[in-house]
Structure 1
Amino acid sequence: MTRSPDTPALVPAGLRGPAVLARARWATRLLFMALGVLGGAWGAHIPSVKARYAIGEATLSMVLLAAAIGAVLSLFFAGRIVGWLGARKAAMLAAGVMSVMLGSVLEYPGVAALLPAMLLFGASMSLFDVAINTEGSELESLSDRPIMSNLHGMFSVGGMTGAALVSVMLGAGVAPRLQLFGLCAGIAIIVFIAARGMLETHATGGEAGEQAHFAWPRGTLLIIGLLIFAGLTAEGVMYDWCVLYLKQEVGMPQAQAALGYSIFSAAMALSRFGGDFLRSRYSEQALLRLGGSLAAVAMALVLLSANAWVAWIGFALVGAGLAPVAPILFNAATRVPGVSRAAAIASVTSIGYSGFMVGPPLIGSIATATSLTMALGVLVLASALLACGAHRVPQRGD
């Protein structure tokens, strides 16, 4: 069964007009892009964090783990917060916190102070993520046409932009502290302005008979969550480790290595902008199967070659392969009956973000025992598992 596409009762009739929906779509695109910019800046500056605190891969993995733990813990309350405040206010609150946390990531006296800051950073990012995905699902339902891939494409554009800006500023000799402060301040301002265009929805609870709070994943939600776990594990490996891989294993300067993140994000964005077209014409199962296979094969070739050009091309193919995962699976979760959009997204994302929890210590442990190249084989495995499990995704109209 699928969720009824009828307009939810909690959306006033005056907020369903084409002009209002168009403004909300553009506002939500900007919010997805803003999240991507912060993610790109964070990914590109992970080597800066490693250098600033003079830590190895094992300790760095604990820093990344702290952010992932914060993200997962936040998801137990994110659906309720979005239902209480509304997607607009929840997004603004989360944007303020994550901008402050990332902007000050290089300012702490040591790792002991950095870890709780990373908890807050991860928690605020996951709340923001749930809020804007809830808004996007609502808009897709009200517009009666696919838009989720387009929205996630804007996230990838943001990731590409954030990493590219860092690359340019590093090349120009701008201090990492100034880079992060300027980017985070600018993003906070953009979010506060753009959020005014979001719909006045989700502030009065869920639809009739639906759970507005966190829903423990079971049945179809559990299957979708496990596939998101595989997809986000693979994606998270790229976000957290691809720049360090190019710098440390391939031997690139950090300014050039940051371009690897941009190439990955650019390919993901281009694929996502075409994703809604593909979703309307082809099976979502087939798209996930093809994408997972492409990402697994491409990353295997990157790791076997340890060549800069092969890595850049391979990162582009990995981005294209992983592009359909989040748009398809997040929206599939919202079609499960009996659970509100925010609660469904928070539920499956809680499992998916667990991949971010498992990934950092796993990568760090393997890298410490062997090499970072061997550790990044986790991405190959996760992508292959995603391809193998694609047939379990419920089809639209089932």
Structure 2
Amino acid sequence: MEMRVDTPRAVAGRSGYLPRERLAIWLLFLMNGFMVGSWAPKIPEFAERLNLSKGELGLMILVFGIGSLVMMPVAGMQIARLGGARVSKITAVLLLPSILALTFTQNIPAAAIALFLFGGFVGGMDVAMNANAVAVEQKMRRAIMSSCHAFWSLGGLIGAGVGGYLIGHFGTVVHAVVATVIVVVMLAVAWPIVHVDRPAKSSVDGSSRARLPLQPLPWLVGLMALFSMVPEGAVLDWSALYLMQDLGAPVSIAGLGFAAFSLTMAIMRFAGDLVRERLGAVLTLRLCTVTAIVGMLAASFAPDPIMVIIGFALCGIGISNMVPIAFSIAGNLPGMAPGVGLSIATTLGYSGILFAPSSIGFIAEYTGFSAVFAALPLLLLVVLALSGLARYADGHGEEPGVPHDL
């Protein structure tokens, strides 16, 4: 009788655990976050080199956001044709020289073009790597999206920390070269082990399913992503000012609101996949949304800075896994190429972070920040009302790309 001995790779394949593919997608998210984080400490030198006023710098940063929003739908169309793995690699390669380009531009038009392309390739890669993460989830039959987003946050933290140190001690040129070498190494390690996902069946023959859809389901998911990310942008841009102006907190305390929010969000994103495996995407999304609502209300009605910080920490716990689940939903919608659904979710979602904070500042000038933060849970209630759609994130529906009438 012949005895069959399975190799670890064979056992891994049958169990659905694919460490190589998981490592690859983590590295792609880490690389993307690292590039964005590396840009943050360059901004003061960038503004000084080009002699930009605060208003002009704001417009330049807006160019970055516009580049992202323009390229996200384009990337979605290409993912439908080529697959998330190929588009991830293409956009990653195009993204590699961005920090160098932003370091050596000497005039405003060139800098604006470099920023537009930087934002575009960051955004396009974001859609593609989320699509590839969905494919890895489907292959592994387990949730990984939250940890992917946790690695993006970790990349941003490392990029900003390393960038600040290198710029302060060695200058911007050394920083740009070192940062580029680091991301080249990340991409080189990830390149041969990226999970090769296939284009949607319906897009191979040029079907209209690779185009932006008219049916409401993907737009509802995009609305979920938008309403999940508007509160995140509000805490990012306005929590410190809220603590200082409305509650009289000193500068040393004011920054702790966003710090607490970021800390709990990062921790819960690393834990989010396990939570979602145990509870399912629907219940996880509902618990997260309710936690975010409670945290935001606590922060808005808190009588002192400490309670506000605790409220923002609770909000970080809640919001941490709302966006990853929304992206998993978008990549698993029935009858739709994953890249198309994800392009809608990412474009609408990130527009919340890019553009909503400016509206919040305008409104807060007349109402105060407390009233604004108290109103944001209304958006989260919409997410809660749509939370049943999270069943698609767990694969409770038809296979993506298979025609389905909505």
Q: Alignment partner for residue 385 of structure 1, among 379, 382, 396?
A: 379
Q: Is the 8 A contact 2:67 2:119 kept in 1?
A: yes
For the structure 1 residues 291 and 24, does the alpha-carbon distance in structure 2 shift closer, same or farther, using more than 3 Å as the test?
same
Distance 2:198 2:166 in 1: 40
Shift in Å at residue 377 of structure 1?
Answer: 8.2
- Closer/same/farther in 2, CA of residues 219 and 108 from structure 1, 3 Å limit: same
Q: Deviations over 1:192-212 (max 9, x none)?
A: 331221122225755799865
Distance 1:202 1:86 in 2: 5
User: What is the aligned partner in structure 1 of residue 175 from structure 2?
Assistant: 179
- Displacement of 1:125 after TM fit? 1.1
Q: Whole-Å Cα distance in 2 between the matches of residues 374 and 220 of structure 1?
A: 35
Equivalent residue for 2:34, pick from 33, 37, 40: 37
CA distance in 1, matches of 2:160, 2:241: 13
Q: CA deviation at 1:79?
A: 2.1
Change (3 A) 1:287 1:49: farther
Cα–Cα, structure 1 residues 319 and 335, in superposed 2: closer, same or farther, change >3 Å? same
Matched position secondary structure for 1:125: helix
Which residue identity does 1:136 align to in structure 2?
A
Matched to 1:330, the amino acid is F
In structure 2, what is the Cα distance between the partners aligned to 1:83 and 1:95?
18
Deviates more, 1:208-217 or 1:139-148: 208-217
Q: Does 1:91 find its partner at 2:88?
A: yes
Greater radius of gyration (CA): 2
- CA 218–188 in structure 1, closer or farther in 2 if over 3 Å, else same: farther
Alignment partner of 2:192: what SS? helix
1:200 corresponds to = 196
CA distance in 2, matches of 1:267, 1:325: 14
Taking structure 2 as the reference length, the TM-score comes to 0.75
Partner of 1:10: none
Could you tell me whether the CA contact under 8 Å between 1:205 and 1:212 is conserved in 2? no
1:274 aligned counterpart, secondary structure: helix
Match of 1:289 in 2: 289
User: In the alignment, is the contact (CA less than 8 A) between 1:149 and 1:324 conserved in 2?
Assistant: yes
CA contact (8 A) 1:95 1:188 kept: no
193-202 or 280-289, larger mean C-alpha shift: 280-289
Find the aligned partners of 2:218 and 2:162 in 1 and give their Cα distance: 38
Which residue of 91, 116, 127 maps to 1:130? Answer: 127
126-135 or 235-244, which moves further after superposition?
A: 235-244
Q: Return the alpha-carbon distance in structure 2 between the equivalents of residues 23 and 278 of structure 1.
A: 22
CA distance in 2, matches of 1:274, 1:319: 13
How big is the shift at 1:324? 0.9
Preserved CA contact (<8 Å) 1:268 1:320:
yes
Structure 1: tracts of 5 or more residues without a match: 1-12
Matching residue of 1:335: 332
- SS of residue in 2 equivalent to 1:159: helix
Preserved contact between residue 75 and residue 350 of structure 1 (Cα < 8 Å):
yes
Structure 2: give runs of 5+ residues left out of the alignment.
1-9, 398-406
Once the 2 structures are TM-superposed, how far is the Cα of residue 18 of structure 1 from its aligned partner?
Answer: 5.8
- Could you tell me how far 1:22 is from its partner in structure 2? 2.4
C-alpha distance in structure 2 between counterparts of 1:244 and 1:93, whole Å: 40
Structure 1 residue 234, shift from structure 2 partner:
3.5
CA distance in 2, matches of 1:59, 1:362: 19
**Correspondence for 2:153:** 156
Offset of residue 334 of structure 1: 2.6
Alignment-derived partner of residue 4 in structure 1: none
Give the aligned residue type for 2:279: R
Over 3 Å counting, the alpha-carbon distance change for 1:194 and 1:121 in structure 2 is same
Matched residue type, 2:160: A
Map 1:215-226; keep pairs closer than 5 Å.
Answer: 215-216=212-213, 218-226=215-223
* Letter matched to residue 289 of structure 2: R
Distance 1:299 1:132, change over 3 A: farther
**CA deviation map 1:288-335 (0-9, x unaligned):** 422432552476489x96x7x889767655543321122110111233
Larger deviation, residues 384-393 vs 62-71? 384-393
2:184 maps to 188
Task: Check conservation: 2:289, 2:322, Cα contact below 8 A.
Answer: no
Change (3 A) 1:69 1:193: same
Asked if 1 retains the 8 angstrom alpha-carbon contact of 2:91 and 2:124, the reply is yes
Native 8 Å contact 2:291 2:314 kept in 1? no
Task: Verify the 8 A CA contact 2:134 2:332 in the aligned structure 1.
Answer: no
Structure 1 residue 127: Cα displacement = 1.4
In the alignment, is residue 141 of structure 1 matched against residue 135 of structure 2? no
Specify which structure has the bigger relative contact order, considering alpha-carbon pairs within 8 angstroms and separated by 6 or more residues. Answer: 1
In structure 1, what is the equivalent of residue 105 of structure 2?
108
- Residue by residue, what CA displacement relative to the aligned partner does 1:57-97 show, whole Å, maximum 9, x if unpaired? 54333222212211121122212322444333322221233
Task: State the alpha-carbon separation in 2 of the partners of residues 326 and 97 from structure 1.
Answer: 26
Aligned to 2:401: none
| Equivalence for 1:349 | 346
Please give the alpha-carbon distance, in whole angstroms, between the structure 1 residues aligned to 2:100 and 2:234. Answer: 22
Q: Is the 2:218–2:341 contact (alpha carbons within 8 Å) kept by the matching residues of 1?
A: yes
* 8 A contact 1:84–1:205 mirrored in 2: no
Q: How far apart, CA to CA, are the structure 1 residues paired with 2:192 and 2:222?
A: 31
Letter in 2 for 1:281: L
